[in-house]
A and B are shown apart, each in its own frame.
Chain A
């Protein structure tokens, strides 16, 4: 079980419940969403109550480069600098100072791993990618002076569009695999702010290759943040941990999270279906029940036990805290099913899950079921194509 919680606004007791239930084994904390005083208490409490849990703190330095960022509590943190420009990051003094202050803060916080600061980039060959590598190199030099510090992972925040080019990706991999690092915390910046499981096949193929090269080939620890259900595929490619959170904004990463908001409505409740490898609307679950078909999509967790015996699951309470506990449990069980056999076996298991999910969708459609654009089977074909393409690319 290798799923971490992606922390954000409105944690309530979600983390404690998930640790207690054993459905996560770590958390990646977001300073944007927590005061610095509460953050210190939160870290101390998790470490005291769940000593085996991994506790990581994403310093979110990349948010400083977002114009007029909606950066929440980040301004309270001593290392954070809003309004970062490329010019700021081309001065050697700044390039050193940012990792120094960021990592020093994390040392005092007492996390189990340090996460290096970084900037987001859209293309493997753009100047921001070079800045990201320079920051990583500086961070490695900083921690070399601290032999007793927790081990540090380098952070990469990369736009999904960057994975359209294999040539640029290969060059970048050549570069970063030469760094003397323990591992990476990888975040993919998605283009669409609306959560969906789809991921363009060519880009996903290259992302799988990226993760495979870093983890399976080069032996780096590999944590894929904000990866949600796609994380199941990333585990098959070699990721050591994946992370997801309770809101759709914590299940995939977009810079919209740090940009001025135009408001929005509360998201409709969703249900995570292991057989469909997707999250569907609870109202869709009701519609399936009306067809007498909803048990096909149930995941079989303690949280959804009462759904199987009712014709109107939507009428049963499904509070956000229960929904996220169920979501983490489903993800953990899927990751467990991928297992830790060799990569070919893991990919084969993943492909079987996708084939079965596609079969379930087809059977439901034959019975008259229909799904919203964010709940339908579109993602499965992309995922299957991506795995097949990745196998060819990597010679697996």
Chain B
């Protein structure tokens, strides 16, 4: 893939001599990710290529980005690291012992940093095998992700890329939100200019699609993406996407369509949870939840 640094575990060992037991973990979002040990503890190392990167959709996620200049990549990595440092929340992934580094390796300009290794599986892993989360776990996921959204919003940030792939279930049953690389700092207007839509197509909120940015985004945009993720976790189906639907069709449905009732797809979904999901999927932010605490209280009241 053109936008991901083509480096191997042995390259990583050369770049980060303190790292051992290095293994490839994943590619995605212009990053190559490795698992390793540093000081005997497991960590993740993320590598990015600095340079002008044409906008190429990730074939699995249909990640939408702008044409990225090297400065954009650097800014995004800095933002991700900064977000991890600033936001103290158990359900947001933490920065590891290596903060943001810039190096030249084999003639390539690279960025890398370490972050917490989350031992578990993503909600996407569960769903791709045709599964669903048990109701109690789905509710716990929603509570944990909402706590993360709340912590981000306390720093005037929004995540902008909440989706099953970025939602990990730890072995202890708690959930953690990954990849704050898209996180948007409301105080930094330069990061998202007019005409640029950031996020993953199938998880965009209606207001994220407003390329004129007349509608200011706030945390309620993340609540919409959480609503899609929660719908999928509970029903095993995406609320706006069906087999063979095109990207434009999905966007159109996000803007216009009312999804099928979750209870019509899984009869044991509690009414209260269905109401929460449908409210999260409201087209207008004012019809969702005005504070994360109100949403968390509603989730905790769901009989599971």
Binding site for B on A (CB under 8 A): 170-171, 173-175, 177-178, 213, 217-219
Do B215 and A171 touch (CB < 8 A)? yes
Minimum C-beta distance from A392 to chain B (A): 13
Do A218 and B290 touch (CB < 8 A)? yes
Question: Can you list 27 residue pairs at the A/B interface with Cβ under 8 Å?
Answer: A170-B284, A170-B286, A171-B215, A173-B284, A173-B286, A174-B207, A174-B215, A174-B284, A174-B285, A174-B286, A175-B216, A177-B285, A177-B286, A177-B290, A178-B218, A178-B220, A178-B285, A178-B290, A213-B286, A213-B287, A217-B279, A217-B286, A217-B287, A218-B286, A218-B290, A219-B290, A219-B294
CB-CB < 8 A to A170: which residues of B?
A: 284, 286
CB-CB < 8 A to A218: which residues of B?
A: 286, 290
Question: In the complex, which residue of chain B has the Cβ closest to the Cβ of A213?
Answer: B286
Enumerate the 6 nearest inter-chain pairs by beta-carbon distance, A residue then B residue, closest first: A173-B286, A177-B286, A218-B290, A174-B285, A174-B286, A177-B290
Q: Once the chains are docked, how many angstroms separate the CA of A175 from the CA of B215?
A: 9
Question: In the complex, which residue of chain A has the Cβ closest to the Cβ of B220?
Answer: A178
Minimum C-beta distance from B82 to chain A (A): 24
CB-CB < 8 A to A171: which residues of B?
A: 215
Q: 11 other contacts beyond A175-B216, A219-B290, with CB at 8 A cut-off?
A: A173-B284, A173-B286, A174-B207, A174-B215, A174-B284, A174-B285, A174-B286, A177-B286, A177-B290, A178-B285, A217-B279
Minimum C-beta distance from A28 to chain B (A): 25
Minimum C-beta distance from A256 to chain B (A): 32
Minimum C-beta distance from A140 to chain B (A): 14
CB-CB < 8 A to B215: which residues of A?
A: 171, 174
Question: In the complex, which residue of chain A has the Cβ closest to the Cβ of B289?
Answer: A218
Minimum C-beta distance from B175 to chain A (A): 26
Q: Once the chains are docked, how many angstroms separate the CA of A174 from the CA of B284?
A: 7
CB-CB < 8 A to B220: which residues of A?
A: 178
CB-CB < 8 A to B284: which residues of A?
A: 170, 173-174
List residues of B (259-292) whose CB comes within 8 Å of A's CBs.
Answer: 279, 284-287, 290
Q: Once the chains are docked, how many angstroms separate the CA of A178 from the CA of B290?
A: 6
Question: In the complex, which residue of chain B has the Cβ closest to the Cβ of A172?
Answer: B286
Minimum C-beta distance from B153 to chain A (A): 10
Q: Once the chains are docked, how many angstroms separate the CA of A170 from the CA of B207?
A: 12
CB-CB < 8 A to B294: which residues of A?
A: 219
Q: Once the chains are docked, how many angstroms separate the CA of A25 from the CA of B136?
A: 44
Q: Once the chains are docked, how many angstroms separate the CA of A219 from the CA of B293?
A: 12
CB-CB < 8 A to A173: which residues of B?
A: 284, 286
Q: Once the chains are docked, how many angstroms separate the CA of A213 from the CA of B286?
A: 7
CB-CB < 8 A to A217: which residues of B?
A: 279, 286-287
Question: In the complex, which residue of chain A has the Cβ closest to the Cβ of B207?
Answer: A174
CB-CB < 8 A to A175: which residues of B?
A: 216
Minimum C-beta distance from A215 to chain B (A): 12
CB-CB < 8 A to B287: which residues of A?
A: 213, 217
Minimum C-beta distance from B206 to chain A (A): 11
Question: In the complex, which residue of chain B has the Cβ closest to the Cβ of A173?
Answer: B286
Residue among B215, B218, B279, B285 facing the most chain A CB atoms (10 A cut-off): B285
Question: In the complex, which residue of chain B has the Cβ closest to the Cβ of A394?
Answer: B287
CB-CB < 8 A to A219: which residues of B?
A: 290, 294
Q: Once the chains are docked, how many angstroms separate the CA of A219 from the CA of B284?
A: 16
Question: In the complex, which residue of chain B has the Cβ closest to the Cβ of A218?
Answer: B290
Question: In the complex, which residue of chain B has the Cβ closest to the Cβ of A179?
Answer: B290
List residues of B (143-194) whose CB comes within 8 Å of A's CBs.
Answer: none
Question: In the complex, which residue of chain A has the Cβ closest to the Cβ of B279?
Answer: A217
Q: Once the chains are docked, how many angstroms separate the CA of A219 from the CA of B298?
A: 13
CB-CB < 8 A to B286: which residues of A?
A: 170, 173-174, 177, 213, 217-218
Residue among B279, B286, B294 facing the most chain A CB atoms (10 A cut-off): B286
Q: Once the chains are docked, how many angstroms separate the CA of A171 from the CA of B286?
A: 9
Residue among A173, A174, A219 facing the most chain B CB atoms (10 A cut-off): A174
Residue among B216, B220, B285, B287 facing the most chain A CB atoms (10 A cut-off): B287
Q: Mark B206-218, 1 if CB is under 8 A from A, else 0.
A: 0100000001101
CB-CB < 8 A to B279: which residues of A?
A: 217
Minimum C-beta distance from A227 to chain B (A): 21
Minimum C-beta distance from B276 to chain A (A): 13
Minimum C-beta distance from B2 to chain A (A): 38
Minimum C-beta distance from A356 to chain B (A): 32
Q: Once the chains are docked, how many angstroms separate the CA of A174 from the CA of B215?
A: 9
Minimum C-beta distance from B262 to chain A (A): 15
Q: Once the chains are docked, how many angstroms separate the CA of A170 from the CA of B210?
A: 15
CB-CB < 8 A to A174: which residues of B?
A: 207, 215, 284-286
Q: Once the chains are docked, how many angstroms separate the CA of A219 from the CA of B294?
A: 9
Minimum C-beta distance from B209 to chain A (A): 15
Question: In the complex, which residue of chain A has the Cβ closest to the Cβ of B291?
Answer: A180
Question: In the complex, which residue of chain B has the Cβ closest to the Cβ of A212?
Answer: B287
Minimum C-beta distance from A279 to chain B (A): 34
Q: Once the chains are docked, how many angstroms separate the CA of A157 from the CA of B294?
A: 28
Question: In the complex, which residue of chain B has the Cβ closest to the Cβ of A171?
Answer: B215
Q: Once the chains are docked, how many angstroms separate the CA of A325 from the CA of B290?
A: 39
Minimum C-beta distance from A4 to chain B (A): 25
Residue among A170, A171, A177, A217 facing the most chain B CB atoms (10 A cut-off): A177
Minimum C-beta distance from B281 to chain A (A): 12
CB-CB < 8 A to A178: which residues of B?
A: 218, 220, 285, 290
Minimum C-beta distance from A3 to chain B (A): 27
Q: Once the chains are docked, how many angstroms separate the CA of A174 from the CA of B287?
A: 8
Minimum C-beta distance from A264 to chain B (A): 41
Q: Once the chains are docked, how many angstroms separate the CA of A217 from the CA of B284?
A: 12
CB-CB < 8 A to B216: which residues of A?
A: 175
Minimum C-beta distance from A126 to chain B (A): 15
Q: Once the chains are docked, how many angstroms separate the CA of A178 from the CA of B216?
A: 11
Minimum C-beta distance from A265 to chain B (A): 45
Q: Once the chains are docked, how many angstroms separate the CA of A60 from the CA of B72?
A: 49
CB-CB < 8 A to B290: which residues of A?
A: 177-178, 218-219
